[in-house]
Amino acid sequence: MARRRGRGRVYLVGAGPGDPSLITVRGQTLLKEADVVVCDVLAPAELMDMAPASAERVLVGRGGRRRLDQGAINRLMIARARRGLRVVRLKGGDPNVFGRVGEEAESLVRARIPFEIVPGVTAALGAAAATGIPLTHRSHASSVAFATAQTGSGKAPGGIDWGGLARIDTVVLYMGVRRLEGVVRGLMEAGRSPATPAALVRWATRPEQRLIRGTLGTIAAAARRKGLDPPAILIAGEVAGLGRRLDWFARRPLAGRTIVVTRPRDQSAALADRLRDEGARVIEAPSIVLRPPISSGPLDRALERLGRYRFLVFTSVNGVTRFFERLAGRGLDVRELAGVSIVAIGPATAAAIRSRGLRVAAIPEEFRAEGLLRVMGRRRVRGARILIARAAQARAILPRVLRERGALVDVVPVYRAVLSREGWADVRRALSDGGLDLLTFTSSATVKYFMAKLRGREASKARRIPAAVIGPITARAARQSGLRVIAMPRNYTIDALAEAIVRRFRNSPSGTPRGS
Ligand code: SAH
């Protein structure tokens, strides 16, 4: 990471309130070019994935792996910037709202390190958006204050001008959970009625968001009764009684659900994003990661003589991606495929082929090996050379049946699946807390590897959690492992799977989905 001197710079970036997609475009651009990311506990840790793999990652603050005090954080940033590195300092919400950005920027000025401040969506705005509680309102509130219950010394509220605050229509209090009683007392003693509506929002905009409504008189007891922990903010004022019908966040069909996605990382995004959009908390725990085959010899030999084949069969998007990567790597291109009919096992695979400017000769109605055999046609298969480019450990049925029908079949591995433990600690934790609502599987291999990683009593716990699967073969594998399949789409695609899951959970506000 040797960088040119003079290029070193520190970016104090607002990471937004919790949902990682609420960072600004500028913030995201800087993250993608970062050499070092220094992340606060309140900033969404997922954002660190946006930085290049080679970037140094430092988690600071309570619960962070490194407990650095403010001085140590400043020294670390300065030292890196002096080496010519681009340092992104990710702060929860906005850096200028109770973010101590002033102190950090001062030390950068003293050290003559160039810096930039990038704003972010502060927790108050995130909480308002994700609860439907407006901070101002034409008939209820024309002023709003952001205040903190924590004064400079870190002592109980004393330095707060309660009289002044109580005159503002809407008061949003940061860092208030531990001092809630004192805060509401302060406002009431300064003249606000105990009947003033109040709302507490914990982890605003994150899937685990919680909302407690009450009044200044009742909210502290409610928070205690419900065991509300930080981070949360208090919204007090007439507006806190509004928004019940605007609570789009909690009404999303998968709100409050925790779902495990076992699909390999490079393909899981589509499914995980769909489920998140519907409100789910998604644990991405890819059962397998994809690696190049042990030997690329068979693939390379096939690539050198593509013109000999009548059919080229792809059974997955990964197969397509890796096949064409290797083709280009050998200095060849799609012209080698002139005269070869390309067959895809499903619409996603077909789309991957078409995106390379190639026509797909056939897609079976049924997205499995059996369906493929049907569309290729008995007559055309006899005596034909067929190349199947796919995973190293795929099922044997397709080549076997094609050979039985007189075809000359070459099966070449274009990638291989290897066990992965990514995200596994989260799965384990959720399993032992009893906080999992659904497992999802998109192939029989993901079922097999998922079950293989479970230890002792975990397997019986996992069997009590409903599973959604992409198609009948995966369903069979799941059932054989003792899992209970509650959703399977009619079309064996990721989109259809996501829809089937939503349908299953919709109108079943709590507990297990209907009919399970
Ligand atoms: N700079 C941050 C605030 C840091 S102070 C911002 O602009 O949001 C830390 C306090 O912010 C927490 O104690 C809590 O009161 C509040 N906070 C931060 N993120 C929050 C979230 N997602 N949900 C609720 N409160 C949050």
pLDDT, block means (10 residues), the chain with 516 residues: 68 96 97 95 90 92 65 93 96 94 92 97 97 95 93 57 94 91 94 97 95 97 94 96 90 94 74 93 88 92 94 91 94 93 87 93 69 74 91 81 90 89 90 93 89 88 95 94 94 90 78 44
Look at residue 419 in the predicted model and tell me its pLDDT: 83
Burial of 356 (0-12, 13-18, 19+ CB in 10 A): middle
Helix pair angle (472-480, 444-453), 10° resolution = 20
Q: How far is the CA of 417 from the centre of ligand 1 (A)?
A: 41
Q: Which residue's C-alpha comes closest to atom 24 of ligand 1?
A: 232
Complete DSSP assignment for 190-236: TT--TTSEEEEEESTTSTT-EEEEEETTTHHHHHHHTTPPSSEEEEE
Q: How far is the CA of 38 from the centre of ligand 1 (A)?
A: 18
Instruction: Give the position, in ligand 1's atom list, of the atom nearest the Cα of 18.
Output: 22
Q: What is the spatial distance between Cα 316 and Cα 348, in angstroms, rounded to a whole number?
A: 8
Residue in 233, 235, 281 to alter for ligand 1 test, most ligand atoms within 8 A of Cβ: 233
Coil, helix or strand for 146? Answer: strand
Chain center to CA of 15: 15
Which pair of tokens denotes residue 452? Answer: 């293989």
Q: How far is the CA of 59 from the centre of ligand 1 (A)?
A: 17
Ligand 1 neighbours, Cβ below 6 Å, are 17-18, 42, 91-94, 97-99, 122-123, 126-127, 174-175, 201-204, 230-233
Q: Is the dihedral angle over the CA atoms 471, 477, 478, 480 positive or is it negative? A: positive
Tell me whether strands 438-441 and 408-419 are parallel, antiparallel or unpaired.
unpaired
Q: How far is the CA of 451 from the centre of ligand 1 (A)?
A: 38
- Whether residue 95 has a cis bond before it, omega within 30° of 0: no
Closest to 241 in 3D by CA, of 131, 98, 336, 110: 131
Chain center to CA of 203: 16
Q: Which residues on adjacent β-strands are paired with residue 282? A: 259
Q: Which residue's C-alpha comes closest to atom 18 of ligand 1?
A: 123
Q: What is the spatial distance between Cα 390 and Cα 344, in angstroms, rounded to a whole number?
A: 11
Q: Which residue's C-alpha comes closest to atom 5 of ligand 1?
A: 98
Q: Is the dihedral angle over the CA atoms 154, 160, 166, 170 positive or is it negative? A: negative
Look at residue 391 in the predicted model and tell me its pLDDT: 85
Q: 298 φ, ψ to 5°?
A: -60, -40
Closest to 68 in 3D by CA, of 95, 31, 102, 41: 41
111: left (phi over 0), alpha (psi -120 to 50) or beta: alpha
Q: How far is the CA of 122 from the centre of ligand 1 (A)?
A: 7
Look at residue 236 in the predicted model and tell me its pLDDT: 97
Q: Is the dihedral angle over the CA atoms 79, 82, 85, 86 positive or is it negative? A: positive
Look at residue 270 in the predicted model and tell me its pLDDT: 84
Helices (H), 310-457: 317-329, 347-354, 369-376, 378-381, 397-404, 424-433, 444-453
Closest to 203 in 3D by CA, of 45, 428, 48, 59: 45
Q: 225 φ, ψ to 5°?
A: -60, -40
Look at residue 70 in the predicted model and tell me its pLDDT: 84
Residue in 13, 41, 98 to alter for ligand 1 test, most ligand atoms within 8 A of Cβ: 98
